[in-house]
Structure 1
Amino acid sequence: MKNRFTKNLLRSCCIGFLLPLSTHAQQWVSLDAKGKLKYDYSSRGDRIPDFSYAGYKGGGVAIPDIPATITLQPISGDNSAAIQAAIDKVAAMPLKNGFRGKVLLSPGNYECQQTIQIQASGIVLAGSGSGENGTVLQLSGAPHMAVVIKGKPSYTNNGPSQLVTDAYIPAGAMKLQVQNGQGFRSGDTVRITKPVTPQWVKFMGMDDLVRDGKPQTWISGELTTDRIITAVKGNTLQLDVPLTDSYDAVYTSPAGTMVEKISTTGELSNCGIMNFRMVSPSQTGTINERHHQAFFIGGITDAWATNIQVFNTINSITLTGRRITLDSIAIYHDDKTIGAAKPADISTNGPQQLVKNCYIKGANVFYIATGAKVTGPIVIMDCLFEGGGWIQPHQRWATGLLVDNCKVPGGGIDFMNRGEMGSGHGWSIGWSVAWNSSATSFLNQQPPGAMNWMFGCIGAQRKEARPFDKSPLLPEGIYVSHDHPVQPLSLYKQQLLERLGKK
């Protein structure tokens, strides 16, 4: 085992075209004499991405407040059907300025035995406050998700499909070159597809995952991310949001990275839930058992959940859409799940997601986790998580996460190789940043050909081997000013300010 891991470590450290580790002269991002952000670049042009595009409408846009269309009062017994009927009635209304209407729940207790579903654009479900005297969704009956906002997007290739000609596209880039730019126009949505090749898996040291005597597959297939073209100059396509991964032609041959124009049907937009609390009976057991859950938002661009208190749900919140804001969500657990496998209270699985001003109290839990093949930017900001859990990207190569001014007393913030954990989760995260955050401990590991950074963070630094092995220790990611906060106080807010201005 030691020889195997030593071989992988040497492979990742000695190949000539790998990124150099940080030097003392490189700060990677800092304020210049005029108070503006100044970025350093790797030898291949990689930089810390601009994370300010995360959130509703792409960041910097206030959550809308629309008038109530239908107002409900609580009834005795199961309220699910009444709430669903009101939502369905609003769903039949025409869109006006992007919205159909709002279902407002008056103060009181609403027993809910079934999932409430929003399946049309422009619908808001709101309560009258998240306190004890506000609106309470009391979950009962068989375990279920309280609220689901879910579109059914279908993607169609409706234009040119072109090979990327760049030998290397650095992380943080906002443009790329294709063989032929004709047929692409500003405003087109394009899908960028990077094949997962055996040579890349081997380069990442993920070709030897074995658990219980069985080979584990880290990643197969493709890595995709969608962007909107903002300009076409010859064969160069300018993109609306920075790329949060690098694209190296050495590891994408023979197919190469492709760009194709796509159209989407069935995707929702402008939906939100707000101003109530969800209460589940206390739940224990393992994560493989069914539990009450809080809400799911997916198949959507532009959505939000704000001012919601959640009690005793397991695997509480899952986000799979784009441009979503969670603001002022609080999750409380009376008990903890059993076993080594931990639930994720907030699972961020899509680009341009913003989680801010949130609070979680619970043990044996991932406060924030990412899924497989997720691309950012994803921002977790101004959050407090108590009880001994973790912010830990979870599996199979997510990229572009910012943990900004978060506090995890009694727990950890880990950018790591999870190796054979799970079913071969392997390298879980790359091109990600922790900024002015505090925790009991930090694990910051550097994947081959990528970087992870931690700036101004306060807490013990851990060095570890790949899970289940004692050696060798994996290469560390980049620490800047550890145990001493840096300026600006918030990277996301400063990036947003410089991109959009004070207004």
Structure 2
Amino acid sequence: MKHKFTRTVLALLTSTVLLSFTKDSAMIEPKFLITSSDSSGTHNGPWKSKFLDVNKNGTITYHPDEQGNTIPDFSLVGYHHGSRPIPKLKLFKTLYPGKGDAGNMIQQAIDELAALPADKNGHRGTILLTKGSYPIAGTIHIKSDGIVLKGEGDQANGTKLIATGKGSRSLIEIKGSGQLTEIPGTRVNITDTYVPTGAKSFQVTDAKAFKAGDKIVLFRPGSSNWIKDLQMDQIIARQGTKQWQANDYNLSYEREITKINGNTVFIDNPVVMTIDQKYSTGAIYKCNFKGRLQEVGVENILFESEYASDIDEDHGNIAVDFDNIENAWVTGITARFFIYAAVSLNTGAKNVTVKDSKCLDAKSIITGGRRYSFNNNGQQNLFMNLETTEGRHDYVTGAKTAGPNVFYNCKSTNTHADIGPHHRWATGTLYDNIETDGQINVQDRGNWGSGHGWSGVTQVLWNCTVESAAVQNPWASGKNYAIGLKGKKVAGRLPGKPDGEWEGQDQKNLLPQSLFLAQLKAAGIKTP
């Protein structure tokens, strides 16, 4: 007892009482600053989350809540779900800088390569752009599988592609055709009353037409009672505000069947939003995506845009722009002075890896629709080892972005807005070891934009460092998590919203340090 008393007295003696006035009241509020060797002031040693255990053999045990929901497995994202390394394609042609616009030369080489047959892996070859500057007045288009555009470095003395002159545009556009399509007659309903977040199996009415390897859509229709419970039919209106409508929230998640056992269907990637019969009946159906590209890459290039002033908006918009593509990659690029993004993945982009890249010094006015440095609207995509400066929404998802998706080991400085799900119900994103001098927010954005409302669910912040963060749980359909976050916790835009799942705020030494890397190890996948 004597030792315990002595430790208590010493703790009190090394504490400093701070008196301060609150912002909204004249009432004096005591605060205690605990001084110790750990600047977090709350925890000195390693600690683990209550939501999961990493076992001695590297597997992970997830701890469900009262309804069976867990943090999902985010490991199967990026190029071929991480099962293959990014390939090195054979050299097709080497290009050299010349005088005048280089756009036609580069486009001609791409078109020549596209005319050749792809090999059994869907690969055609690499076009190498040697060191030097390549002015481009328009847009370079890649519309065929298996083409890699590669430079000799993203430094000033490397390969530089320059968006010259006027015109807001993408400098490189990589885009397939078509759209995700349901195969008629294959739809069957899910019979479970409740499918929890994190689940990789569920019951259907009749699974006999399905087999392992089938590409399917896990379909969760919107409903008016769900929108009512989310309170998204009562967004405080201003000019242009749109209340949410059920038909706009039919969510489609691409999955692959791994096993069938009777009428139980097992899928590769987890459910990232609860499927609850009280709101709607989920379903699955076979799908195809004719015209979708694959096996396209952009590597080791410095992209720059000419600009007239710091607020010029009539110049390069996006450096590398993807849509209607799967199993593709961007590595080792830097983009400077663009309006919108270094890399933007649109809704049809799936299993894309973007890594070891930078988006620096955007030039535009600082307001909506600009400076989304690394933007993702697709699914099962991986963004890792990235840096940004002077962005707004640096690592960001858009409306109804279907997860899982991962942002891992990314840094943002001199930011002008927040990181996170931007608007209208993104589902299933991991923000792992993100460091920013700004904010990461997961909240009800209310009538911002045309009525953003709840920005997302199953958004997991793991071991992130921020200036501040608002992480809230929506009124229905799941939770959001802030685990081991270092930085201020703030109330968010709107009062009275449910708190998210906060754990270990300002505590150092969270184990595992990276949830994503731990999940990769548990799945037997090498770090990309």
TM-score where L is the length of structure 1? 0.89
Match of residue 347 from structure 1:
375
Aligned length: 468
User: What displacement does 1:32 show?
Assistant: 4.2
Compare CA radii of gyration and give the structure with the larger one: 2
Instruction: Report what 2:37 is aligned to.
Output: none
Judged with a 3 Å threshold, the aligned counterparts in structure 2 of structure 1 residues 502 and 261 are, in CA distance, closer, same or farther, namely closer
Q: 2:426 aligns with which of 398, 403, 410?
A: 398
User: Are the aligned partners of 2:362 and 2:371 in contact in 1 as well (CA < 8 Å)?
Assistant: no
Deviation at 1:309, TM superposition (A): 0.8
Paired residues of 2:385 and 2:409 also in contact (CA < 8 A):
yes
Show the counterpart of 1:18.
none
- CA deviations on 1:337-385 (whole Å, 9 max, x unpaired) are 234665311211111111111100005x110221111111111111110
**CA 340–89 in structure 1, closer or farther in 2 if over 3 Å, else same:** closer
In the alignment, residue 135 of structure 2 is paired with which amino acid? E
State how far apart, in whole Å, the 1-side matches of 2:526 and 2:371 are: 39
Q: Equivalent residue for 1:177?
A: 203
Pairing of 1:122-161 with structure 2 (within 5 A): 122-141=146-165, 142-154=167-179, 155-161=181-187
**2 CA distance for matches of 1:488 and 1:197?**
38
Q: Is the Cα–Cα contact under 8 Å of residues 60 and 500 in structure 1 kept in the other structure?
A: no
Aligned counterpart, 1:38 = 61
CA separation in 2, counterparts of 1:477 and 1:323?
Answer: 29
Measure, in 1, the Cα distance between the counterparts of 2:285 and 2:300.
40
Of 332, 341, 360 in structure 1, the residue corresponding to residue 360 of structure 2 is 332
What does 1:13-28 align with in structure 2 at a 5 Å threshold?
27-28=50-51
The answer to whether 1:259 aligns with 2:284 is: yes
Structure 1 residue aligned with 2:337: 312
User: 269, 293, 296: which is aligned to 1:268?
Assistant: 293
Change in CA separation of 1:217 and 1:291 when aligned onto 2, cut-off 3 Å: farther
Indicate the residue corresponding to 2:35 in structure 1: none
1:277 to 298, 302, 307: 302
Q: Are the counterparts in 1 of residues 306 and 337 from structure 2 also a CA contact under 8 Å?
A: yes
Contact 2:216 2:287 in 1 (8 A): yes
Structure 1 residue runs of 4 or more that deviate by more than 6 Å after TM superposition = none
1:43/1:374 Cα in 2 relative to 1: closer, same or farther (>3 Å)?
A: same
C-alpha distance in 2 between matches for 1:101 and 1:183: 38
Distance 1:427 1:212, change over 3 A: same
Secondary structure at 2:243 match in 1: coil
Q: For the residues of structure 2 that align with 1:75 and 1:280, how far apart are their CA atoms?
A: 18
Q: Which amino acid aligns with 1:440?
A: E
Partner of 1:163: 189
Bigger CA drift: 165-174 or 326-335? 326-335
**Superposition TM-score, scaled by structure 2 size:** 0.85
Name structure 2 gaps, 5 residues minimum. Answer: 1-47
Given residue 271 of structure 1, which amino acid in structure 2 is its aligned partner?
V
CA contact under 8 A between 1:208 and 1:215: conserved in structure 2?
Answer: no
After superposition, the C-alpha distances for 1:80-112 in whole angstroms (9 at most, x for unaligned) are: 111011001111111113201111101110000
Percent of residue pairs bearing the same amino acid type: 32
Q: What SS is found at the alignment partner of 1:242?
A: coil
> Which residue is 2:108 aligned to?
85
Q: Could you tell me how far 1:198 is from its partner in structure 2? A: 0.7
The answer as to whether partners of 1:303 and 1:323 remain within 8 angstroms in 2 is yes
1:53-74, CA deviations, whole angstroms, 9 ceiling, x for partnerless residues? 1111102532111221111111
Deviation at 1:214, TM superposition (A): 5.9
Per-residue CA deviations over 1:113-171 (Å, capped at 9, x if unaligned) read: 11111111111011111111111001113222110111113324144211111111111
Give the conservation status (yes or no) of the 8 Å contact 1:420–1:426.
Answer: yes
Task: Give the RMSD, CA atoms, in angstroms.
Answer: 2.0
| Other structure's SS at 1:51 match | coil
Q: Deviations over 1:312-351 (max 9, x none)?
A: 1011121131111111111111645234665311211111
Q: Of 395, 408, 416, which residue of structure 2 is paired with 1:381? A: 408
Q: Provide the C-alpha distance between the structure 2 equivalents of 1:303 and 1:500, rounded to a whole number of angstroms.
A: 21
Q: Secondary structure at the match of 1:165?
A: coil
In the TM superposition, 1:90-129 aligns within 5 A as 90-96=113-119, 97-129=121-153
Residue 42 of structure 2 corresponds to none
Structure 1 spans left out of the alignment, 5+ residues: 1-24, 467-471
- 1:158-211 residue CA offsets vs partner (Å, 9 max, x unmatched): 442111111111111111211111211111111122221110000111111243
